[in-house]
């Protein structure tokens, strides 16, 4: 009960983490591998498999999705397109026919094949008043990779070897589960260390581990909730399902059955009624077959299926797909339309972990429940992608993702025809959450009002919040009266959205919706200026808007920089290190003109690709004169190398030229030129030793100019630029890589330059240089020059930069298309007008519930609670016991008519997973009240549990030595 209440509280009020999905690799993908051997996936044996879904997409030649501004009949859509193309010489075009269940209903898009005069035709179509957007049709390719982690092949469920095989799921350490609870173990635990042998012997039904049987006993089995599974289909007479309402096919294959088993597995996790039980066996299951047996799909198939799901008023939709390219506008628009129509979409977050910032779309969208994975030791699965979201960058800060995590390693689900399989992956975890949400859909949860007026809260939003547009942001800051206070402040934010009445509503006037968002903040006294670091996020750019290459040119197989360059993505290790050293890192998401420099000791710029406003350059000079310090980690920039690393994209049939290098060195030089500093266009690589630390320089630049009274450290490196351009090898001595400078003004700040950022970047770091960052911060924050650098044998006379010209911007680059600073202009791009700084309107707090306990905020251990310290009612009289499976005995619960929820489930384990403080306090309070009432009632003799009929029959058929078999 606690687990389910906590899950719903987390979803409504702050979103916990759960397990995730598989993603596509965007337009730059590897070739699609051969189809999966279906027999290896389908057989109902119980060997342990690890599932990895790889996705890629590619543009379909000559096919375009024409999206309309509303829903129109097929004839109206055809007339609109014909009218638009009437005066164009595109005589060779046709509307691609789509035969599927959505064909009988109005639609908001059409697929058009245009084979000549494509550019002019597209422009004409986009100008039509009823056409919203024209985008290329995309093919989605999904490959399933299964690895049998056993050593002796697949073994059947009733094989005696199965017990040992079951322990071989994907894990980083041996089996040591301390917080696993199967069935109703939460209610009936007998001791912290008992039944340890059972934990290793009994199958792990994820629905029982998460205590779905507690809700089954209360009569909640998912009845009345419509669940859609978008996958590979489902066989008509599969014995695990009793309420398949509809099966629909959206592919070009003439079948509704599952030819691979993935869709069957996902559906089983959600709604299986026997053997490997699902969460909601009585839910109304809608099967959407959107992938062929060769694991191929198209954007248009999904769009039609999504429209049909809206028509059918689906409640919960599971989508185990995704990819890093969020620019498939028709797909993303339709996802937003689904959620705006009250469809709860659950999607896997991706298998690109453990690097942060590897989240996949659509699970990274704010209105989709993104699911990540953990193993049965309650550790985040290494393969699980993790947050924060990056598609908003640099315009926004991004959000914490995944929303929830759950078991995604070694999860059991339905086999293709019968029996069960055990698979791993975030697409396995996604249906776990979808099934949980289905159960929770009919359960109400208590609301809480918490106190706290030590935080200031501001809500900013667009004037209109529309299903496909608008934003709403919540900003939190410490109130002035709490500047020196330390503790926990908590409360809630109430948001009310007003909108016109629906068209089919008979009630006039506006409609309002109100949401309460719990807020809990740990407050510390305002740190001293020397401990506060400001990270410049405003000047970092990333793919997919343009071609921004990797910082390390050795990464040839993955040339696009798509992680976001953020302290919560590929610089997370650096962030954690700085926090462990006592520094406080804040993120600047606005121009340099928008922060109070007197509050910060150091401005940290890493791998910047953006240009700078003239006002920013002026303000930074003034701030440094007044005590702000600056650290810059640069990267390579060489126009000849940039032309060399261009590539031809078969999807768009265009050459892709980098719009900048690893960093925008010409822009950085404009920023620091006032102090006589500059980076060069040199490109260097190599291992060296600095201050007794092993270092690796990965595609970095050198310092071309530096003040003569500064400190410069040089190293011997390879000329990587020469290697890229001419395939020749040369070693260069005395390459200036590090510079330290104290500005001459009284009380002025300090500047530190380093030519490579890869040593603090998680993406492809080989040897970290966190020690160097510590040393530079000691210099910039406390004016303490590291002796190891001051007296280094590699110290050299600062370069004057007269031997070679400074790097110039690549002629004809298109950076202005993606820049917040530049705008298109005849000739060279010019700076835009400086945008206004954001200003927040702080809401007035209204303290509530002044008597709330002071320890309410304290967290329990993740997914664990000490059951020896929790007094719970004895429910053992209501349930039979559990024993290990005997050799030759099936692990399935073969009960005629399906599962009887709550009576025949297994009981194993001592502790409960997914424990959140809000739900726990409510439920524990309820228990205390019930126990108090129970003390006044006379004790009754425990009734004898009547043995189920099928077990009596089994007893008669199975020889035994005088003991009754138990379940």
Look at the block and give the residue holding tokens 């069935």.
183
Contacts of 255 (CB under 8 A, 6+ apart): 233, 249, 289
Contacts of 445 (CB under 8 A, 6+ apart): 5, 8, 9, 12, 919
What is the C-alpha separation between 501 and 519, in angstroms, rounded?
31
What is the C-alpha separation between 604 and 777, in angstroms, rounded?
10
Look at the block and give the residue holding tokens 């159960």.
439
Residue 262 annotated as catalytic: yes
432, 407 Cβ separation under 8 angstroms: yes
* Annotated active-site residue in 238, 262, 286, 492: 262
Integer Rg of the chain from CA: 31
The angle subtended at Cα 399 by Cα 396 and Cα 404, nearest 5°, is 165
Distances 915 to 2, 183, 858 between C-alpha atoms, Å: 7, 16, 12
| Tokens standing for residue 404 | 């929830």
Q: What is the dihedral of CA 288, 293, 299, 305, to 10 degrees?
A: -10
* Annotated active-site residue in 181, 422, 427, 430: 427
Give the percent of the chain with pLDDT over 70.
72
What is the C-alpha separation between 618 and 641, in angstroms, rounded?
32
Label residue 418 exposed, middle or buried (CB < 10 Å: 0-12, 13-18, 19+).
middle
Please report which helix (H) or strand (E) contains residue 624, including its range: helix 614-625
Contacts of 348 (CB under 8 A, 6+ apart): 19, 20, 21, 22, 23, 319, 320, 321, 322, 360, 363, 370, 371, 425, 426, 427, 429, 430
Tell me what pLDDT residue 372 has: 93
DSSP alpha helices (H): ranges in 544-613?
572-580
138, 298 Cβ separation under 8 angstroms: yes
- The SS3 of residue 613 is coil
What is the C-alpha separation between 797 and 799, in angstroms, rounded?
6
911, 195 Cβ separation under 8 angstroms: no
Q: What is the dihedral of CA 153, 154, 159, 161, to 10 degrees?
A: 40
Beta bridge partners of 40: none
Residue 825, CB half-sphere, CA atoms under 13 Å: how many?
9
Tell me what pLDDT residue 452 has: 60
What is the C-alpha separation between 266 and 620, in angstroms, rounded?
55
Strands (E), 524-657: 532-536, 584-588, 602-606, 629-633, 647-649, 654-656
Tell me what pLDDT residue 534 has: 97
N-terminal to C-terminal alpha carbon distance within the chain:
23
268, 413 Cβ separation under 8 angstroms: yes
pTM: 0.60
DSSP string, 691-752: TTEEEEEEEE--EEE--TTSEEEEEEEEEHHHHHHHS---EEEEEEEEEEEE-SSTT--EEE
| Tokens standing for residue 451 | 């106190």
Neighbours of 464 (CB within 10 A): 8
| Tokens standing for residue 18 | 């759960």
Looking at residue 24, the DSSP 8-state letter turns out to be: B
Instruction: Say if residue 634 is preceded by a cis peptide, omega within 30 of 0.
Output: no
Tell me what pLDDT residue 890 has: 34
Residue 337 CA from chain centroid, whole number: 20
| Tokens standing for residue 351 | 């298998």
Please report which helix (H) or strand (E) contains residue 357, including its range: none
Residue 427 annotated as catalytic: yes
891, 165 Cβ separation under 8 angstroms: no
* Annotated active-site residue in 54, 231, 325, 719: 231
Please report which helix (H) or strand (E) contains residue 81, including its range: helix 74-85
What is the C-alpha separation between 101 and 304, in angstroms, rounded?
8
The angle subtended at Cα 316 by Cα 313 and Cα 318, nearest 5°, is 125
Distances 72 to 449, 452, 961 between C-alpha atoms, Å: 47, 51, 73
Give the percent of the chain with pLDDT over 90.
39
Residues in the chain: 967
Pick from 630, 583, 664, 633: nearest CA to 768: 633
Instruction: Say if residue 402 is preceded by a cis peptide, omega within 30 of 0.
Output: yes
- The SS3 of residue 639 is helix
What is the C-alpha separation between 405 and 18, in angstroms, rounded?
2
Pick from 383, 385, 349: nearest CA to 369: 349
Q: What residue ranges of the chain have pLDDT lower than 50?
A: 1-50, 147-203, 444-445, 447-450, 849-915, 939-967
Pick from 611, 661, 669, 595: nearest CA to 821: 611
Look at the block and give the residue holding tokens 């002629």.
811
724, 641 Cβ separation under 8 angstroms: yes
Contacts of 827 (CB under 8 A, 6+ apart): none
What is the C-alpha separation between 43 and 25, in angstroms, rounded?
30
Pick from 220, 353, 374, 214: nearest CA to 283: 220
- The SS3 of residue 70 is strand
Contacts of 891 (CB under 8 A, 6+ apart): 46, 157, 158, 162, 203, 275, 420, 885
- The SS3 of residue 934 is helix
Residue 764 annotated as catalytic: no
Please report which helix (H) or strand (E) contains residue 49, including its range: strand 49-72
Q: What is the dihedral of CA 949, 950, 956, 962, to 10 degrees?
A: -80
pLDDT tens, residue by residue, 414-444: 998 888 988 888 989 999 999 999 998 867 4
What is the C-alpha separation between 644 and 657, in angstroms, rounded?
9
Measured on CA atoms in the order 476, 482, 484, 489, is the torsion positive or negative? negative
565, 607 Cβ separation under 8 angstroms: yes
65, 300 Cβ separation under 8 angstroms: yes
DSSP alpha helices (H): ranges in 218-354?
262-271, 299-311, 329-340
What is the C-alpha separation between 717 and 180, in angstroms, rounded?
53
């Amino acid at each position: 009960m606690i687990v389910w209440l906590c899950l719903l509280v987390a979803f409504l009020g702050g979103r916990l983490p759960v397990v995730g999905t598989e993603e596509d690799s965007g337009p730059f993908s590897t070739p699609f591998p051969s189809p999966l051997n279906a027999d290896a996936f389908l057989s109902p044996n119980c060997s342990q498999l690890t599932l990895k879904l790889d996705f890629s997409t590619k543009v379909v030649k000559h096919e375009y999705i024409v999206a309309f501004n509303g829903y129109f009949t097929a004839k109206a859509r055809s007339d609109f397109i014909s009218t638009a193309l009437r005066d164009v010489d595109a005589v060779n075009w046709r509307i691609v026919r789509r035969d599927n269940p959505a064909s009988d209903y109005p639609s908001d898009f059409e697929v058009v094949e245009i084979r000549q005069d494509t550019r002019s035709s597209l422009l004409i179509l986009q100008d039509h008043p009823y056409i919203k957007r024209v985008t290329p049709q995309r093919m989605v390719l999904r490959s399933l990779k299964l690895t049998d982690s056993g050593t002796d092949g697949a073994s059947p469920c009733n094989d005696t070897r199965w017990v040992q095989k079951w322990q071989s799921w994907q894990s980083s350490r041996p089996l040591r589960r301390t917080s696993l609870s199967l069935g109703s173990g939460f209610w009936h635990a007998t001791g912290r260390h008992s039944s340890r042998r059972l934990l290793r012997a009994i199958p792990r039904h994820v629905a029982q581990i998460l205590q779905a049987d507690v809700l089954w006993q209360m009569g909640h089995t998912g009845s009345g909730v419509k669940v859609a599974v978008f996958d590979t289909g489902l066989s008509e007479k599969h014995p695990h399902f009793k309420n398949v309402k509809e099966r629909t096919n959206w592919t070009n294959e003439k079948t509704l059955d599952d030819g691979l088993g993935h869709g069957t597995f996902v559906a089983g996790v959600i709604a299986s009624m026997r053997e490997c039980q699902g969460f909601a066996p009585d839910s109304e299951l809608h099967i959407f077959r959107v992938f062929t047996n060769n694991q191929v799909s198209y954007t248009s198939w999904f769009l039609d299926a999504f429209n049909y799901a809206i028509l059918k008023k689906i409640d919960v939709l599971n989508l185990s797909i995704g990819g890093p390219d969020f620019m498939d506008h028709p797909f993303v628009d339709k996802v937003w339309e689904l959620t705006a129509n009250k469809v709860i979409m659950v999607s896997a977050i991706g298998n690109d972990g453990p690097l942060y910032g590897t989240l996949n779309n659509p699970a990274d969208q704010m209105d989709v429940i993104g699911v990540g994975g953990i193993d049965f030791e309650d550790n985040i699965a290494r393969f699980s992608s993790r947050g924060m979201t990056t598609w908003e960058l640099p315009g926004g800060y991004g959000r914490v993702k995944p929303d929830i995590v759950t078991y995604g390693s070694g999860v059991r689900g339905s086999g293709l025809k019968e029996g069960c399989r055990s698979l791993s992956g975030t697409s396995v975890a996604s249906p776990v959450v979808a099934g949980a949400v289905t159960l929770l859909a009919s359960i109400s949860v208590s609301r809480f009002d918490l106190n706290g007026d030590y935080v200031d809260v501001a809500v900013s939003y667009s004037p209109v919040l529309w299903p496909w547009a608008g934003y709403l942001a919540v900003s939190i800051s410490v109130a002035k009266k709490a500047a020196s206070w330390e503790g926990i402040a908590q409360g809630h934010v109430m948001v009310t959205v007003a909108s016109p009445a629906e068209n089919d509503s008979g009630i006039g006037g506006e409609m309002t919706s109100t949401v309460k968002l719990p807020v809990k903040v740990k407050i510390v006294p305002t740190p001293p200026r020397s401990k506060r670091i400001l990270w410049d996020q405003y000047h970092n750019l990333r793919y997919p808007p343009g071609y921004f290459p990797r910082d390390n040119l050795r990464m040839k197989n993955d040339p696009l920089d798509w992680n976001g360059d953020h302290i919560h993505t590929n610089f997370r290790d650096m962030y954690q290190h700085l926090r462990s050293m006592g520094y406080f890192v804040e993120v600047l998401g606005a121009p340099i003109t928008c922060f109070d420099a007197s509050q910060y000791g150091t401005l940290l710029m890493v791998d910047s690709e953006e240009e700078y406003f003239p006002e920013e350059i002026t303000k930074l000079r003034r701030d440094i004169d007044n005590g702000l310090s600056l650290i810059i980690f640069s990267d390579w920039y060489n126009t000849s190398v940039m032309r060399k690393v261009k590539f031809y994209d078969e999807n768009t049939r265009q050459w892709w030229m980098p719009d900048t290098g690893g960093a925008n060195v010409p822009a950085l030089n404009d920023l620091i030129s006032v102090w006589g500093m500059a980076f060069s266009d040199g490109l260097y690589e190599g291992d060296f030793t600095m201050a007794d630390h092993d270092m690796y320089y990965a595609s970095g630049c050198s310092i071309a100019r530096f003040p003569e009274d500064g400190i410069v450290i040089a190293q011997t490196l390879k000329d990587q630029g020469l290697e890229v351009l001419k395939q020749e090898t040369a070693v260069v001595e005395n390459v200036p890589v590090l510079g330290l400078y104290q500005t001459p003004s009284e009380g002025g700040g300090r500047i530190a330059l380093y030519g490579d950022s890869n040593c603090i970047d998680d993406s492809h770091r080989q040897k970290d240089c966190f020690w160097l960052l510590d040393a530079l911060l000691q210099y910039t924050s406390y004016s303490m020059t590291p002796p190891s650098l001051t007296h280094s044998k590699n110290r050299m006379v600062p370069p004057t930069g007269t031997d070679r010209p400074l790097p110039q911007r690549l002629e004809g680059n298109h950076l202005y298309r993606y820049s917040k600073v530049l705008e298109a202009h005849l000739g060279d791009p010019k700076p835009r007008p400086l945008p206004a700084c954001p200003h927040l309107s702080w809401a007035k707090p209204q303290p509530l519930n002044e008597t709330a306990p002071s320890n309410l905020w304290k967290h329990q251990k993740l997914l664990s609670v000490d059951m020896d310290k929790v007094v719970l009612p004895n429910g053992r009289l209501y349930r039979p016991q559990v024993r290990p499976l005997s050799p030759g005995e099936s692990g399935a619960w073969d009960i005629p008519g399906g599962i009887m929820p709550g009576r025949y489930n297994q009981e194993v384990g001592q502790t409960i997973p997914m424990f959140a403080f809000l739900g726990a306090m409510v439920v524990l309070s309820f228990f205390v009240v019930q126990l108090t009432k129970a003390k006044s009632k006379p004790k009754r003799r425990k009734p004898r549990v009547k043995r189920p009929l099928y077990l009596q029959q089994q007893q008669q058929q199975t020889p035994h030595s005088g003991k009754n078999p138990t379940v």
